[in-house]
């Protein structure tokens, strides 16, 4: 029974709990629905409030935008009104100008018609004047007894005489102006260049002398049946002369490099004492190798003295060979170095490129290093060597044109010619043979004597001045001035000389009478 009651009590408890939970859940549902209803009502009220505020704000912004638009529109209307006023004013001005132009055009038409009438009247008057001139010419021809052609010839002859006098006066004025403006400046530049550079000159002949310790050494140099001399001559290409000169052997040869190799070889053989063909071949080969190095060092020393760089190795060897080349007893390498210094100073005074000028001066005689091997003038040969070595066009033309073998394309050829003349004509720089000196003087006098009216001429001051005496009855003052100019131009065209030659034409009248 207890079990039954326990089961029944548990069943009743389960039923009671079920109804209690059901009642509680219904209560909770009703409460939730009421809260949801309140939330929805609150949300609707808030939405209405927000919408109302947004409508109010939109209306305010719309009013502000309308006010701003009305203000901007008012300003634009004012501006448009002002523009319309200006346009109207300009239209009025244009209308007034158009009216004024119409009036001027009418006035111009009237004046143009008046000008045309005057031009017609002038044409008619000109025709009448021309007829009067022709009549006057005919009357003058009848009075003078000359035809028009004869009168024209006389007039032309008179004009020619007047022009001849004016030409002479013009030449005189030009010379005076040139002397005033250019002579002083040129003298300053040349004097400055000469004063700033003072080089020494050495004289080399076509023969070299080798001193011997005693006359007994001559026999050893000759060798058995002359085999030593023949060996030296065949290896070096020179002539070995053994004469009565005590304790000396003379070496002659056209090529200065070969002559120097022979001289050094013979000096070494004499100092060594062993002189036979095998030893001679050995020494000559040694001297040839040493000479190549000496030539290269001489070329490097030359560019170092001048102060230039980037020189092709072939050009260095050609420059070194100039150490053993002479021209009128003047050493060509020393002469080239001196010309490079002088032309550099001249270029500096004239505002030109000094480096280019120095290259032209140093290389201007480089063709003389091989002119005995290649046909042609040394200026053209030197230009070809420089072109192969990649030198600039200015340097090449300056070297090629410094003796006027080609036309100069720049100032460097003229400067090279001037510097070359300065270096060559310095006292002691060169020596000239008597025969060439006399021929040059005779040629100077011959050119002067070739002109009509010349009585006699003299070349004085070692050919630096030519004095020409003319007959005063055949040559007047103006013609004397023209003759001086023509003689100077002919000398420039036909002769080559260092420096300058002064031409003086003297015309004088002497009246002689004797009192008895």
Cβ–Cβ < 8 Å for 339, 364: yes
Q: What is the pLDDT of residues 233-277, one digit of tens each?
A: 888 877 887 777 777 888 877 677 788 888 888 888 888 888 888
Closest CA to 417 of 379, 462, 376: 379
Top pLDDT among 19 and 511 is at: 511
The CATH classification of domain 434-506, taken from the options 3.40.50.970, 3.60.9.10, 3.40.1130.10, 3.30.300.20: 3.30.300.20
13-17 mean pLDDT? 73
**Predicted structure pTM score:** 0.45
User: What whole-number distance in Å separates Cα of residue 453 and Cα of residue 475?
Assistant: 6
User: What whole-number distance in Å separates Cα of residue 449 and Cα of residue 444?
Assistant: 9
Q: What is the pLDDT of residues 70-89, one digit of tens each?
A: 888 888 888 888 888 888 88
Indicate the helix (H) or strand (E) that contains 264: helix 256-272
pLDDT band of 194, cuts 50, 70, 90: low
Residue 424 pLDDT greater than 50, yes or no: yes
Residue 149 pLDDT greater than 80, yes or no: no
How much is the pLDDT for 268?
A: 87
Q: What is the pLDDT of residues 300-309, one digit of tens each?
A: 888 888 888 8
How much is the pLDDT for 305?
A: 86
Q: Is the dihedral of CA 369, 375, 380, 384 positive or negative?
A: negative
pLDDT band of 141, cuts 50, 70, 90: low
Residue 315 pLDDT greater than 70, yes or no: yes
24-28 mean pLDDT? 68
How much is the pLDDT for 198?
A: 47
How much is the pLDDT for 5?
A: 77
Residue 213 pLDDT greater than 70, yes or no: yes
Q: What is the pLDDT of residues 439-492, one digit of tens each?
A: 777 888 889 899 988 988 888 766 778 889 998 888 888 888 888 888 988 888
User: What whole-number distance in Å separates Cα of residue 514 and Cα of residue 370?
Assistant: 70
pLDDT band of 204, cuts 50, 70, 90: very low
How much is the pLDDT for 201?
A: 41
Q: What is the mean pLDDT of the chain?
A: 79
How much is the pLDDT for 165?
A: 65
Residue 434 pLDDT greater than 60, yes or no: no
Residue 105 pLDDT greater than 50, yes or no: yes
Of all residues in the chain, the percent with pLDDT exceeding 90 is: 0
418-422 mean pLDDT? 82
For residue 392, give every residue at least 6 positions away whose Cβ sits within 8 Å of its Cβ, in sequence order, or none.
356, 359
pLDDT band of 322, cuts 50, 70, 90: confident
**Which of 52-61, 106-115, 169-178 is predicted with the least confidence, judged by mean pLDDT?**
169-178
Residue 428 pLDDT greater than 70, yes or no: no
341-369 mean pLDDT? 87
189-218 mean pLDDT? 62
pLDDT band of 25, cuts 50, 70, 90: low
Closest CA to 438 of 427, 446, 430: 446
Residue 195 pLDDT greater than 60, yes or no: no
How much is the pLDDT for 203?
A: 39
Q: Kindly state the DSSP code that residue 204 receives in the 8-state scheme.
A: -
pLDDT band of 408, cuts 50, 70, 90: confident
195-209 mean pLDDT? 53
Phi, psi of 223, deg, nearest 5: 80, 175
Top pLDDT among 41 and 447 is at: 447
Residue 154 pLDDT greater than 80, yes or no: no
User: What whole-number distance in Å separates Cα of residue 71 and Cα of residue 81?
Assistant: 15
Residue 282 pLDDT greater than 80, yes or no: yes
> String of b and e for 324-335 (b: at least 16 CB within 10 Å)?
bbbeeebbbbbb
29-45 mean pLDDT? 78
Cβ–Cβ < 8 Å for 215, 246: yes
Of all residues in the chain, the percent with pLDDT exceeding 70 is: 82
């Amino acid at each position: 029974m207890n079990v039954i009651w326990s089961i029944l009590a548990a069943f009743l408890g389960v039923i009671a709990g079920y109804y209690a939970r059901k009642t509680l859940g219904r209560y909770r549902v009703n409460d939730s629905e009421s809260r949801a209803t309140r939330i929805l009502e609150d949300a609707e009220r808030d939405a209405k409030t927000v919408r109302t505020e947004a409508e109010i704000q939109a209306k305010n912004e719309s009013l502000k935008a309308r006010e701003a638009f009305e203000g901007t529109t008012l300003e634009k209307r004012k501006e448009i009104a002002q523009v319309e006023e200006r346009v109207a004013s300009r239209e009025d001005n244009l209308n007034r100008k158009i009216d004024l132009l119409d009036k001027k055009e009418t006035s111009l038409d009237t004046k143009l018609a008046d000008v045309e009438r005057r031009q017609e009247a002038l044409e008619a008057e000109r025709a009448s004047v021309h007829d009067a001139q022709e009549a006057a010419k005919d009357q003058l021809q009848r009075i003078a007894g000359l035809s028009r052609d004869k009168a024209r010839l006389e007039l032309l002859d008179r004009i020619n005489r007047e022009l001849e006098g004016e030409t002479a006066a013009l030449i005189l004025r030009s010379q005076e102006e040139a002397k005033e403006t250019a002579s002083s400046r040129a003298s300053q530049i040349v004097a400055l260049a000469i004063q700033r550079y003072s080089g020494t000159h050495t004289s080399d002949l076509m023969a070299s002398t080798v001193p011997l310790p005693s006359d007994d050494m001559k026999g050893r140099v000759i060798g058995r049946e002359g085999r030593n001399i023949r060996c030296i001559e065949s290896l070096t290409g020179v002539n070995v002369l053994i004469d009565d000169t005590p304790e000396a052997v003379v070496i002659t040869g056209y090529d200065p490099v070969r002559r120097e190799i022979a001289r050094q070889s013979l000096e070494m053989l004499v100092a060594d004492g062993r002189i036979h063909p095998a030893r001679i071949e050995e020494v000559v080969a040694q001297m040839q190798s040493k000479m190549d190095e000496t030539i290269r060092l001489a070329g490097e020393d030359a560019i170092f003295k001048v102060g230039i760089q980037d020189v092709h190795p072939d050009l260095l060897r050609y420059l070194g060979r100039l150490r053993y080349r002479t021209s009128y007893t003047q050493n060509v390498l020393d002469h080239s170095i001196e010309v490079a210094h002088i032309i550099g100073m001249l270029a500096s005074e004239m505002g030109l490129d000094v480096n280019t000028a120095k290259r032209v001066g140093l290389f201007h005689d480089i063709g003389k290093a091989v002119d005995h091997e290649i046909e042609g003038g040394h200026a053209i040969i030197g230009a070809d060597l420089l072109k192969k070595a990649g030198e600039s066009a200015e340097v090449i033309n300056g070297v090629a044109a410094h003796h006027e073998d080609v036309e100069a394309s720049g100032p460097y050829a003229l400067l090279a010619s001037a510097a070359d003349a300065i270096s060559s004509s310095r006292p002691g720089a060169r020596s000239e043979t008597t025969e060439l000196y006399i021929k040059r003087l005779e040629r100077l006098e011959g050119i002067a004597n070739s002109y009509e009216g010349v009585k006699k001429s003299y070349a004085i001051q070692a050919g630096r001045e030519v004095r020409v005496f003319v007959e005063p009855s055949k040559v007047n003052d103006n013609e004397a001035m023209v003759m001086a100019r023509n003689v100077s131009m002919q000398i420039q065209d036909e002769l080559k000389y260092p420096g300058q030659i002064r031409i003086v034409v003297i015309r004088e009248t002497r009246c002689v009478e004797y009192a008895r």
